[in-house]
């Protein structure tokens, strides 16, 4: 039985998080108003719960559910099993966070009447955006 690890994030907007998860290839993302049970790779219910869930059958044959649990401060903590941390590790979370931040920036800019003048990805993976 794999242990689940909670990882704090700065992801605050549910809709943007779900959009990024879908962009990352998860076509089936469950969104709940109340936390739901996560399941282990054998279909066994685990004590962990989350509002945003990718079920194990959409991750891999021996995977556990992947979840994002809403915290009292409004952020979502990632809940990832030790087994799945081989693929869904800190590097994956960093890329997810970068894309999330990128989308939030574009949304905020648009809501303030700004437009993207130019956008480029630098050699180190940094995204440079100029707004006007």
Work out the angle at residue 30's Cα, subtended by the Cα atoms of residues 58 and 14, and round it to the nearest 5 degrees: 120
Per residue in 25-82, pLDDT (tens digit) is 999 999 999 999 999 999 999 999 999 999 999 998 889 999 999 999 999 999 999 9
How far is the first Cα of the chain from the last one, in angstroms, to the nearest whole number? Answer: 52
pTM reported for the whole predicted model:
0.88
User: 63 burial class (0-12, 13-18, 19+ CB within 10 angstroms)?
Assistant: buried
Residue 7, token pair as written in the block: 């990882």
Residue 109: per-residue pLDDT: 86
Per residue in 82-106, pLDDT (tens digit) is 999 999 999 999 999 999 999 998 8
* Domain extent listing, the chain: 4-131
1 pLDDT above the threshold of 60: no
As a whole number of angstroms, the distance between CA 109 and CA 118 comes to 13
- Three-state secondary structure call for residue 89: coil
User: 2 burial class (0-12, 13-18, 19+ CB within 10 angstroms)?
Assistant: middle
Residue 108: per-residue pLDDT: 87
């Amino acid at each position: 039985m794999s242990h689940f690890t909670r990882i704090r994030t700065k992801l605050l907007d549910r809709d943007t998080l779900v959009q990024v998860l879908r962009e990352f290839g998860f076509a089936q993302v469950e969104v709940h108003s109340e936390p739901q049970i996560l399941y282990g790779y054998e279909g066994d219910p685990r004590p962990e719960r989350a509002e945003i869930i990718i079920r194990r059958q959409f991750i891999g044959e021996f995977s556990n559910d992947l979840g994002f649990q809403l915290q009292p401060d409004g952020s979502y903590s990632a809940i990832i099993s030790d087994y799945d941390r081989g693929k869904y590790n800190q590097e994956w979370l960093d890329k997810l966070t970068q894309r999330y931040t990128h989308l939030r920036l574009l949304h905020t800019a648009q809501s303030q009447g700004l437009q993207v003048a130019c956008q480029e990805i630098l050699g180190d993976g940094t995204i440079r955006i100029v707004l006007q």
